[in-house]
């Protein structure tokens, strides 16, 4: 990374995000720059798991409500 910063300050060298990097030149500069706008994978996984848990809980509640009021026994969240 220090080499990159040194290159960035050298005004005679043009850098592109497609500039090859690494010993084998198999990576590009863009691979080394973090995407600060991207969501963290742990946050995405947590949100999806929470959504699944909420859906299962609501389905169970609607099924129990249907049995209690005699409106039917197989309600799901998608039915309402």
* Cα distances (Å, whole numbers) of residue 79 to 13, 21, 68, 74: 63, 54, 17, 9
In tens digits, the chain (80 residues) has pLDDT values of 566 666 566 666 677 788 787 778 888 878 878 888 999 999 999 999 999 999 999 888 877 766 666 555 555 555 55
d(CA 60, CA 54): 10
pTM of the model: 0.43
Q: What is the pLDDT of residue 58?
A: 87
Structure tokens at 47: 């949100």
């Amino acid at each position: 990374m220090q080499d990159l910063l040194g290159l960035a300050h050298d005004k005679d060298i043009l850098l592109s995000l497609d500039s090859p990097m690494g010993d084998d030149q198999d990576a590009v500069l863009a691979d080394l720059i973090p995407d600060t706008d991207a969501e963290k994978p742990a946050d995405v996984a947590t949100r999806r798991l929470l959504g699944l848990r909420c859906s299962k809980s609501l389905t169970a509640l609607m099924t129990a409500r249907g049995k209690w009021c005699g409106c039917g026994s197989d309600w799901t969240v998608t039915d309402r």
